[in-house]
Amino acid sequence: MTTTKKTPRALVSLELPTVVGLLISLVRALIQALTGNAAFPNPTPTLAVLSGAVNDLEVAQTAALTRAKGAVEVRNEKRAALVTLLADLRAYVQTIANAAPPEHAAAIIQSAGMNVRKTPVHKPRVFAAIQGSVTGSVKLVAPFAGPRSAYDWQWSTDGGKTWQLAPSTVQARTSMIGLTPGATVLFRYRAVTKTGESDWSEPTSLIVK
């Protein structure tokens, strides 16, 4: 059976500068990018409304720089109104991107003068031994084996010649205490699922602190 890897949905990222002058420049760049852009035939809000709001903010900012009484409050109100419009615009661009083929969505977002949010890459968990919070303790984490699984744990202080069994858990992690500081200890685990026990993992080693 062949499976097709789905393309992650492209998400709009619109980070707004805190400096008013930079915000004004950003909005004007957005308006320019959207003007005549066939991918966005009916921007919401309209470009006329957006232009009016950024013009209002620019006038209010000029007044605020004179330190006239009440001018800063007016400027802040105009900025808040513009930010609200930009939130609506971001949602509109996201709607258009969602309706497009996934492989084209990122380019459509960028054509609007906006950025594509980076999708975090989650690395698969691997079996690892980590120093614990107190002397002589170690934390073990293993890959998740699925729901209703259990995990067996073993440790060895003689290079794997003999193994001692630690308590089993129903979570893919456990802690061990009372180990000898400075000793090199090997650890391994196996998953127990409804289909039976897996093989023991390759050992991982750690010098206990």
H runs (alpha helix) in 8-160: 20-34, 47-65, 71-99, 102-111
Q: Partners of 108 in the beta sheet?
A: none
Here the tokens at position 93 are 């661009």
The sign of the CA dihedral 131, 133, 135, 136 is negative
For the chain, which residues score pLDDT lower than 70? 1-8, 119-122
Which pLDDT belongs to residue 3?
Answer: 41
**3-class SS shares of the chain: helix, strand, coil, % to 5:** 35, 20, 45
Query: Pairing relation of β-strands 150-156 and 184-193?
Result: antiparallel
What pLDDT, in 10s, does the model give residues 125-170? Answer: 889 999 999 999 999 999 999 999 999 999 999 999 999 999 999 9
Q: Look at the pTM and tell me if it is higher than 0.75.
A: no
Residue 167: per-residue pLDDT: 94
Structure confidence at residue 54 (pLDDT)? 97
**Tally of residues, the chain:** 209
- Nearest Cα neighbor of 144 from 80, 193, 208 is 193
- CATH class of residue range 128-207: mainly beta
| Residue 132 token pair | 């614990």
Q: Enumerate helices (H) and strands (E) in the chain, giving the number of each.
A: 4, 10
Q: What is the pLDDT of residue 125?
A: 80
Region class of 182: left (phi > 0), else alpha (psi between -120 and 50), else beta: left
